[in-house]
Amino acid sequence: MKKRGIGYAATFYGTGYGNGFPDESRATVEINANGEIILSVEVSDVGSGGISVMWQIASETLNIDRNLIKLQYDNTSKMLDSGTAAASRQTYNTGNAVLDACKKIKINIDKYYNKVEIIKNKKVLTELYQKFISDNQELKYEGYFKATTSQVDLETGIGEPYWPYTFGINRAIVEVDCETGKVDVIDVVAVYDAGKIVNPVLAEGQIIGGVSMGMGYAIMEEVNVLKGSIKNCNYSDYIIPTSKDMPKVTTYFVEANEASGPYGAKGLGEPAMLPTAPAILNAIYDAIGVRLTEFPATCDRILLELKNKGV
Amino acid sequence: MEVLDVLKPETLTEVKSLFTEYQNCKILAGGTDLLLDIKNGKQSPQYLIDLGNIKALKKIEKVRKDIVIGSMVSFKTLSEAKIIKQYFNSLYHSAKGMGSPQIRNLATIGGNIINGAPAADITPCLISLDATLVIESAEYERFISCEQYFIDYDKEKVRENEVLTKIIIPKKKRLTGFYKLGKRNSLAIARVNTAISIEVKQNKIKRFAVCLGAVGRYPFRVLELEKMVVGKSLDYLLADEVLEKLENAVFASIKTRKTMPFKKEAIKGVFKKALENAYGEVIL
């Protein structure tokens, strides 16, 4: 017999390095003779979508079409340090540095171009460059951002270890086969407050990827260690979800403005997977009354627990 | 030791003569297991005889009262062949759910049998369907039931000068079903699997076969249970004493294994799922 259950779990997650560790990002923006804006930002995009996000922030701030903005990234000999693509910090931290650099050049652009229309023509930028040269304006501008973070006083609990926090909640529906112990995740609804969402399509993808990882963590992934060595260090035996295991995932964003973020944005990377596994375990408990305190909820564990319970 | 050459014969006769010409050779079917074994140093043949060019081994034919499947028929072909779906529901489902699309394109029915994995997907189906294996060498041709092949594996397994060419399955009217419990829904190795075959006469079970996989070195039938249900109605297959027989069979097979407590419990659920699969709808 199959039984269904619903489970919820919520998360709040401080982004950035935190606890007083210096968390700095830098970016430079430059106008050149070819009628291009060169944005140099060390955003190492390992699938996070950071490149698109930086590009969008620059285009929005400068009021210049993104095709006229050339983005340089990844080559550390050509650009300043923006920190790591880690701690869900690129959109908020590095995005702020890009915003800072763009605002600086924008002040000078505005002196020569004050129309509301977005700049789409290369010629406009070439003319701007000429005016920058003739008026002896700086061509290159540096942006900088340092996140608010302080160590927590362990005695008093006072301090600001992280700024800002991202909030999220998952609702998972599972189906448990009581005769084989197999768990199928049927449906996941994910709701997040990650501030203003810069790129909704990427953000939705981030959530679906997070749900997939969270689900693997909840019901499949297991590291088998024997005498200190991992026995399943290959994808053939370290089992992660496939497309055939994925539930339907629906995402909603509560776009509460984060005043300190670029256009109100916050980080989403890691929070995207956090509530899924506990929501699934709660749903399993709801379905069959078995409270698992260990990951993953494999068919072995579930079936033996059910038997011990005498269900 | 490295593989020195990959031989690509066009006919079966050529294959047989290669056995005498070359020493330390190994037959390459789909390669989804063998090539990994070679890479990991578990097997080290000097020559590979690739059967991929032999068209005669890639056919599925109706021959009188049997269906004859060539050993080089891929899982993709098997899962898409109308004749398989029509006569052997269990085989169809097993082939369809094996590995991933990429593996199904390459892996063959013959390779799955000869590799002799405890959790092989196809073998329990073949045993429950009374399949016969045709094994040939330059001098002779031998016929052995798939069941006997694995009971007497050390004696009966293909020798260095032999090649599995065909699998013959009697085309009888029967209800057949298969279920695999894996760690995920695709690209999964069976934790436990079961294939069943039921011949019904006047609403009574005339003949019943059940083969359990991944609960022992090789898949095996539970003869005691099979005898017990003859003459009974289909409902009886869900009786407690039937399920108990399955549990006992698994316990006897893997007594000392860590997974025994789970597998002897799971077998009952997997058996029910195989029955559901045979009946074609959820009735339990």
Residues B59 and B159 in one domain: yes
Residues B194 and B275 in one domain: yes
Inform me whether the C-beta atom of residue A223 falls under 8 Å from chain B C-beta atoms: no
- 0.90 exceeded by pTM: yes
Query: Quick check: A299 and B266 CB within 8 A?
Result: yes
Residue B284 lies in a domain: no
Query: What are the C-alpha distances in Å from A302 to residues A180, A294, A307, B266?
Result: 8, 11, 9, 11
Query: Quick check: A180 and B185 CB within 8 A?
Result: no
The 3 state secondary structure assigned to A51-111 is HHHHHHHHHHHHCECHHHEEEECCCCCCCCCCCCCCCCCHHHHHHHHHHHHHHHHHHHHHH
Inform me whether the C-beta atom of residue A243 falls under 8 Å from chain B C-beta atoms: yes
- Helix A299-309 × helix B260-279 angle, to 10°: 100
Residues B65 and B160 in one domain: yes
State residue A277 phi and psi, 5-degree precision.
-60, -50
The span from the CA of B267 to the CA of A181, in Å, is: 11
Residue B129 lies in a domain: yes
Residue of chain A whose alpha carbon sits nearest to that of B261? A304
Last residue of a domain, one of B170, B189, B213: B170
Residue B156 lies in a domain: yes
Mean pLDDT, rounded, for A210-237: 96
Share of chain A above pLDDT 90, in %: 95
Task: Calculate how close chain B gets to A309, using CA atoms only, in Å.
Answer: 14
Residues B46 and B134 in one domain: no
Q: Residue A268 carries which side chain, given as an amino acid letter? A: L
Residues in chain B closer than 8 A to A179 (CB atoms): 266, 268-269, 272-273
Residues in chain A closer than 8 A to B190 (CB atoms): none
Residue B88 lies in a domain: yes
ipTM, 2 dp: 0.91
Residues of each domain in chain A carrying CATH 3.30.365.10: 2-15+162-309, 24-146
What CATH code is carried by the domain that includes residue B233?
3.30.390.50
- Residue A165 in 3-state DSSP? strand
Query: Quick check: B185 and A298 CB within 8 A?
Result: no
Residues in chain B closer than 8 A to A177 (CB atoms): 269
Q: What is the model's pLDDT at position A51?
A: 95
Task: Calculate how close chain A gets to B188, using CA atoms only, in Å.
Answer: 8
Residues B262 and B179 in one domain: yes
Residue B146 lies in a domain: yes
Query: Quick check: A179 and B184 CB within 8 A?
Result: no
Residue B239 lies in a domain: yes
Average confidence (pLDDT) per 10 residues, chain B, 284 residues: 92 94 94 94 95 97 97 98 96 96 97 96 97 97 98 96 97 96 95 97 96 97 97 96 98 97 98 94 49
Residues in chain A closer than 8 A to B188 (CB atoms): 239
Residues in chain B closer than 8 A to A242 (CB atoms): 100, 184-187
Residue B18 lies in a domain: yes
- Beta strands (DSSP E) in chain A are 2-14, 24-31, 37-40, 69-72, 140-146, 165-177, 183-193, 225-226, 229-230, 248-253
Residues B125 and B66 in one domain: yes
Q: Which fold has domain A2-15+162-309?
A: Aldehyde Oxidoreductase; domain 4 (3.30.365)
Task: Calculate how close chain B gets to A224, using CA atoms only, in Å.
Answer: 14
Residues of A involved in catalysis = 270
Query: Quick check: B184 and A239 CB within 8 A?
Result: yes
Instruction: Choose among B184, B259, B262: nearest Cβ to A242.
Output: B184
Task: Calculate how close chain B gets to A209, using CA atoms only, in Å.
Answer: 17
Shortest CA distance to A50 belongs to which of A18, A25, A77?
Answer: A25
Asked if the bond preceding A161 is cis, omega within 30° of 0, the reply is no
What CATH code is carried by the domain that includes residue B16?
3.30.43.10
> Which of B37, B184, B273 should one mutate to test binding to chain A, selecting the residue with the greatest count of A CBs within 10 A?
B184
Instruction: Choose among B186, B187, B269: nearest Cβ to A177.
Output: B269
Residues B68 and B166 in one domain: yes
Residues B151 and B255 in one domain: no
Q: What is the model's pLDDT at position A311?
A: 62
- Contact map slice: A 126-185 vs B, CB within 8 A: 177-182, 184
Last residue of a domain, one of B170, B204, B223: B170
CATH assignment, A24-146: 3.30.365.10
- Beta strands (DSSP E) in A210-294 are 225-226, 229-230, 248-253
- Residue A303 in 3-state DSSP? helix
Residues in chain A closer than 8 A to B261 (CB atoms): 304
- State which residues form the domain around B42: 5-53
Instruction: Count structural domains, chain B.
Output: 3
Residues in chain A closer than 8 A to B269 (CB atoms): 177-181, 303
Residues B59 and B164 in one domain: yes
Shortest CA distance to A166 belongs to which of A84, A83, A254?
Answer: A254
A and B: number of Cβ contacts within 8 A? 52
B92 neighbors B64 (Cβ within 8 angstroms): no
Query: Quick check: A245 and B188 CB within 8 A?
Result: no
Residue of chain A whose alpha carbon sits nearest to that of B260? A300
